[in-house]
Amino acid sequence: MTGPATIFDRPNRYIGQPTPRADAARLLAGRGRFVDDIQLPRMVHAAFHRSPHAHARIVSVDVTAARAASGVLGVWTGAEMAALVTPYVGVLTHMAGLRSAPQHPLAVDVARWQGEPLVMIVARSRAEAEDAAELVEVDYEELPPACDATTALAKDAAVIHADFGSNLAWERKVDVGDIDAAFAQPGVQIVEREFRFGRHTGVTLESRGTVCEFDPSEGCLTMHYSGQAPHMMQVILSRLMSLPEENVRVISNDVGGSFGIKIHTYGDELAAAVAARALGRPVKFVADRMESFLTDIHARDHVVKARMGVTASGTIVGIDMHDLTGIGPFSMYPRTSAIECNQVLNLTGAPYTMQHYRAHGQVVFQNKNLMCQYRAVGHPIAMAVADGLLEDAARVIGMDPVELRRRNLMADDSYPRSSTAGMKLDDLSHQAALKKLCEIMDYDGLRAEQARLREQGIFRGIGFVSMVEVTNPSPMFYGIGGAPIASQDGATVRLDAGGALHVSSSITEQGQGTNGILAQIAAGVFGVDIDRVKVTTGDTGTVPYGGGTWASRGAGIGGEAMLLAAQALKEQVLDVAAVMLQSEPGLLDIRGGAVVDAATGAERMGLADLARTVYYRGNELPSDLKPELIATRHYRVTDFPFVFTNGAMAAHVEVDPETGFVKVLHFWAVEDCGRVINPMLVDEQVRGGVVQGIGGALYEECLYSDDGQLLNATMADYMVPMAAEMPEITVAHIETPTKTSFLGAKGAGEAGTGGAPAAILNAVNDALQPMGATIWQMPMTPERILKVLGKV
């Protein structure tokens, strides 16, 4: 045998030459390049030198040693990266007055939070890239940080963006009725509390990551993206990298959890795309767990001062509140960091029929990691404030909290209507949900048991929440503000020659069962077994245009589009079958993968036979019959800004007054998410949401020092609920289909996270009542419990 012993043993003259041998080598090697007969890895890896300071001027950056390090292929400073990327600003035009400074993938001139990327290194391996990152030398001039949101607006506070003159990013006021006059009425009791909500984050099973590849022959960028909104990212990459939108492909296949944190623009991911174009190689970046804690968006950084007025007969007069939200040094692009505060103002007290409401929200910059949308955006704050005050008021006037709710919840036959804050509501069931909740939990029995155990020194509490959840958003959410975020979703359904369905959708799969729901809808509507449905999602190169998965919109919007597409294809197939069988479309149906007689169910023709006739022997069909055997449909909500889900939840807890530990004994959730398509998936979505709500209520908090250092950026220090902390979670349903769609499905993915913290807060305070203590700060850690009990 002559020639090289292996395909890798060859002269280096083949490098870059379009010879058959070189092409074959690349094909078989799969990921190799050859330089001087040494195979180098084709895919390369990115790592980042990140700021150790919360606020510091970057005096100089020396990357000489990093560029000379072993395996390094490219190094970019902030200024060098800024020259390659259009700056981006996280504002929306319909949020009047919102301001934020331009952002760059890497910090330029000033570092504004610990963990902000300053320099990117790309090397043959992640280890080599990290070693080189340690060789970067940065001369910093430390600046005073503004870390505490409560003092960020003080006259002597360090101003993060000097051009703005203050750290105020946005504010909004809501004023309905006359709250001062209402509270001044005789007989109105006022309860007033300050609520504090600790920052926490998503802690996804799979951290953020991307592999980006640029094809210079086509001028095309492909990003493999662990995220939720591929078409949004396609537009963002196009805009910021000055690429034609059609030359950007984003692929987001099975994602290991998102919870909202993977729906934003991160500088390190954007930098990886830029490096891929510059180097002509695929560039991989996956955040390690510490990077995730430092840079994945945080949420829930709120201080709320609120009052509720209530009469002795149990009528809620109104709520007066001020919400202060800390968002980090920038408003996140493109969804902005003001949405959470806005949601709090919109949703506080939404289930109740009060006449007066005044709310003032202020969003402030601070030298911490950016804060933005995370599962149940704003809902945990809004529900905890309203229902925490409600149960506090119930104690003051001596009324059972369930009865106080019954007297103030909107009547189930009163829709359509608006909330006091102006939210358009329809198809809700607050009264029915509360009634069912009390039945399934045996409320009277639990109260009797509670009284008996208190005599034995065992302190248990029962807490409730009646809540709403924003789902199925319309263009009113982001689109009207200029964000490249589609409110519609699309679905395509195609019948192949073997009689199977191939469906694609613009919504994405992050572990919540999206693909299963799509297959179930398509199979049920069209008439085939679910195992004959193949689903594709998350690829802008192949799926219809749409918004992706966020705000509990997958089933309600993406599912409706799939239903419409499957119906359209079914009509096509029956039209063809009617011609072939000399029948009428209305006399036929599709069941079990075959065309059948609609009246008797007798099989008339297999779908494979019909499809093969259309595809292979079209000459046998009439010339005026031109079946395509494929249908695409899009759907968006048009009648309401959102479709609201509602629910009623309750927690049963036990508090140990000696240790401060709280044990959640049982949790109940009654959810009205419209038509329940897949009960198992919906129930587990609710349970998963409750678990994250338990985390926010009792365990999870991103703790910062006064100078902006994150103190618990490891899984050893950041507490998340584990199996041992899980209570029994009972889920039940009321089904009130939304009239905005044929399917009737509302969202279900965020209710548990939005409602559980309020229910647990109320349950803990109920348990503490005999000891004369209350707590209004989350997470309710043992130390904080002992503090309100006067024991530390």
Token duo for residue 252: 């987001």
- What is the per-residue pLDDT for 552? 87
Whether 276 contacts 213, CB under 8 Å: yes
Neighbours of 551 (CB within 10 A): 26
Give the separation between CA 91 and CA 98, rounded to whole angstroms: 6
- What is the per-residue pLDDT for 539? 97
Q: Which residue has the tokens 């700060």?
A: 777
Omega of the bond leading into 484 within 30 degrees of 0 (cis): no
Whether pLDDT at 29 is above 60: no
Fold match between domain 7-32+488-635 and domain 380-471+639-788: yes
Closest by Cα among 670, 766, 669, 784 to 727: 669
pTM of the predicted structure, to 2 decimals: 0.93
Confidence at 730, pLDDT banded by 50, 70, 90: very high
Give the separation between CA 532 and CA 593, rounded to whole angstroms: 9
Whether pLDDT at 20 is above 60: no
CATH architecture designation of domain 35-143+207-255+262-295 = Alpha-Beta Complex (3.90)
* Percent of the chain predicted with pLDDT > 70: 95
Omega of the bond leading into 351 within 30 degrees of 0 (cis): no
Give SS3 for 708. coil
- What is the per-residue pLDDT for 18? 39
Sign of CA pseudo-dihedral 429, 431, 434, 440: negative
Give the separation between CA 610 and CA 174, rounded to whole angstroms: 61
Beta bridge pairs of residue 502: 494, 534
Angle formed by the axes of helices 401-408 and 379-397, nearest 10°: 110
**What mean pLDDT, rounded, does the chain reach?**
93
533-537 and 501-505: which strand pairing? parallel
Which DSSP letter does residue 602 get? -
Closest by Cα among 255, 262, 248, 640 to 419: 640
Whether 122 contacts 129, CB under 8 Å: yes
| DSSP H or E run through 689 | helix 679-694
| 640 Cβ neighbours under 8 A, 6+ residues apart | 424, 426, 474, 740
Give the separation between CA 790 and CA 785, rounded to whole angstroms: 9
Whether pLDDT at 749 is above 60: yes
pLDDT per residue as tens digits for the range 341-382: 999 999 999 999 999 999 999 999 999 999 999 999 999 999
Mean pLDDT value of segment 699-719: 97
Q: Which residue has the tokens 């982001």?
A: 478
CATH architecture designation of domain 380-471+639-788 = 2-Layer Sandwich (3.30)
777-778 and 188-197: which strand pairing? parallel
- What is the per-residue pLDDT for 37? 43
Q: Which amino acid, residue 85?
A: V
State how far the alpha carbon of 578 is from the alpha carbons of 525, 583, 622, 709, in Å: 19, 5, 12, 71
pLDDT per residue as tens digits for the range 129-149: 999 999 999 999 999 999 999
Whether pLDDT at 9 is above 60: no
- What is the per-residue pLDDT for 642? 85
> What does 731-749 look like in DSSP terms, one character per residue?
EEE-----TTSSS-B---S
Angle formed by the axes of helices 401-408 and 430-441, nearest 10°: 160
Annotated domain spans of the chain? 7-32+488-635, 35-143+207-255+262-295, 380-471+639-788
> What does 422-461 look like in DSSP terms, one character per residue?
--EE-S--HHHHHHHHHHHHTHHHHHHHHHHHHTTT-EEE
> What does 135-199 look like in DSSP terms, one character per residue?
T-EEEEEE------GGGTTSTTSPPSSGGGSSSEEEEEEEEES-HHHHHTSTTEEEEEEEEEE--
Beta bridge pairs of residue 44: 283
Which of 335-344, 477-486, 609-618, 678-687 shows the lowest mean pLDDT across its residues?
477-486
Q: How many CA atoms lie within 13 A of 664 on its CB side?
A: 31
| 305 Cβ neighbours under 8 A, 6+ residues apart | 192, 193, 194, 195, 321, 322
Give the separation between CA 1 and CA 401, rounded to whole angstroms: 89
pLDDT per residue as tens digits for the range 658-674: 999 999 999 999 999 99
Whether pLDDT at 11 is above 70: no
More confident residue, 105 or 640: 105
Whether 368 contacts 297, CB under 8 Å: no
- What is the per-residue pLDDT for 10? 33
Beta bridge pairs of residue 221: 214, 248
Token duo for residue 405: 């709710």
Confidence at 34, pLDDT banded by 50, 70, 90: very low
The CA R_g of the chain, rounded to the nearest whole Å, is: 29
- What is the per-residue pLDDT for 479? 76
| CATH of range 7-32+488-635; options 3.30.70.330, 3.30.365.10, 3.90.1720.10, 3.40.50.150 | 3.30.365.10
Confidence at 477, pLDDT banded by 50, 70, 90: confident
Closest by Cα among 387, 392, 393, 193 to 312: 393
pLDDT per residue as tens digits for the range 162-191: 999 999 999 999 999 999 999 999 999 999
- What is the per-residue pLDDT for 15? 33
